[in-house]
Amino acid sequence: MIEFEGRNALVDVDDVAFTFESAENPRAFDKYTKPQENLDWTMMNYMLDEWRIRPYGFNNDLPKVIKDIIQGNSIAPGILKKKLQLLWGKGPQLYTEDIADNVLQRTWTQDFRVQNWLESWGYLDYLQKSIVDYTNIEGTFTKFYLAKGIRVNKPSIAKLEFVTAETARLGNHKNDLSNTARICAITDWRFNRIESMDYKVYALFDFQNPFKNRNSILYSNMYSFCSDYYTVPDIYGSLEWIRRSSAIPLILKALSKNSINLKYHIISPAKFWEDKSKELKESKGDKYTDKDLINYKKNYLRQVSKVLSGAENSGKFWHSIRYMVIEGHKILEEGWEIKEIKQNIGDFVSAQIKISDQANRMVAAGVGMHPALGGAGESGRADSGSEQLYALKNYLLTGIDIPESIIMKAINYALKINFPEKNLKLGFYHLPPEKEEDITSSKRIKNNV
């Protein structure tokens, strides 16, 4: 049996299984001669004409690697989406900050002038894309557009535009040897020949001089320890667990598809088939062939399988013919015999499921989600309401401030530039969680489904 997956394949014969991969360019296998998922890429660079580009990952493909691994998993996308939804809350709203009784408080407000500007360039679509990139890779790129008013000494930000992390790379001019990025190159990094790329280079946004460039890029991210350029997301350390979690369903699929998984061994007397052969010869005459008996056997055994199987396609068995043996005056009894074949496949499946459960919990931990919120708790056990409530409260108290400040960094700076007198910011609005017993009966979840 050979099962292909793109260029790769799984080969399964009687006593051995192996995988292979083919490539048009033998140099493509060079990447297997050294570890690929390490952090030694932080000081590497590519030359793109006159620019030194810093790679994002050992092969400059970390965003794509994370995307492929996550999207091929059964639980990681759901956990990340749940984390995104919890961070989003009821959506972005304008607010002002005040300190009352030594407590920092937000006052949520509406401003039609500011709201009209936000809606003029589609801020919701921008924020939805930005929060997805941040949730997966803990950083987001934004392009600033200056308004035409700069020509008459009334500078302002016209709009913001989301830039995907898969296409944006930081760098410097070839003569700039500092460890601080000055430019951002936008291109499709999937090409093999970097010198043939169609690319654009933008200056990074300058907070000290925001109107220096008509267009500029801001990379807003969580700083990673000893990483001068890009964020190394927390999920990076969980990639092997995600792979293991993704592999379990494929293992069980291969087991179900390719394993013979015999349930019964059926032994039939040879005389039974000899008699059937004679009957067929008499009825068909010269038209009789050995194939007629084979077809009869198949149809007969299908009827037997219907009796033995409790559900469709679950009655696999092995059939062999039993011959009559005469020993002196003893004649061995002829007849059908059905023997149940003991199997240990259940132990193997149980072990794989336990590995999958552990992998799922490690994935949830890697993305920073409590199992009670991410749905990756112990298999077969539903998390209690109080456990989910306290996990949610803890997340809202400690898990949203820094992500919100990173995602909103560009848009809040634009608000500060365009509307300095209003002192407004944009943040994600969240309803405070309450126990069901503390809510009037008519407003409880169970009465509003």
Phi/psi zone of residue 111: left (φ > 0), alpha (ψ -120 to 50 degrees), beta? beta
Task: State how far the alpha carbon of 449 is from the alpha carbons of 6, 88, 446, in Å.
Answer: 44, 22, 6
pLDDT at 440: 60
| 131 touches 96 (CB < 8 A) | no
Q: Alpha-carbon distance 201 to 191, whole Å?
A: 17
Residue type, 278: K
How far is Cα 214 from Cα 398, in angstroms, rounded to an integer?
37
Say what the pLDDT of residue 164 is. Answer: 94
**Which candidate, 193, 176, 190, 167, places its Cα nearest to that of 48?**
193
- pLDDT on residue 327: 61
**CA 35 to chain CA mean position, Å:** 22
**Distance (Å, rounded) from C-alpha 365 to C-alpha 75?**
12
The alpha carbon torsion through 358, 363, 366, 370 (nearest 10 deg) reads -80
pLDDT value, residue 331: 61
The DSSP result for 254-306, as a single string, is HHHHH-----EEEEEEHHHHHHHHHHHHHHHGGG--HHHHHHHHHHHHHHHHH
pLDDT tens, N- to C-terminus, the chain (449 residues): 545 454 445 555 555 554 455 454 444 444 444 445 567 777 788 888 899 999 998 888 889 888 988 888 888 888 888 889 999 999 999 999 999 888 889 999 999 999 999 999 999 999 999 999 999 999 999 999 998 765 556 789 999 999 999 999 999 999 988 888 899 999 887 654 555 568 899 999 998 899 989 999 999 998 888 777 898 888 888 888 888 888 888 777 777 766 655 566 676 777 777 888 888 888 888 888 888 888 888 887 777 766 666 544 455 555 555 556 566 666 666 666 666 666 677 777 788 888 878 887 787 777 777 767 766 555 545 556 677 777 788 888 877 899 999 999 999 999 999 999 999 999 999 988 766 555 565 554 445 54
Domain positions in the chain: 50-260+345-449, 262-342
Q: Which structure tokens are listed for 167?
A: 């296409």
Closest of 167, 200, 164, 170 to residue 183, by C-alpha? 170
Answer yes or no: are the C-beta atoms of 164 and 133 closer than 8 Å: yes
Coil, helix or strand at residue 272: helix
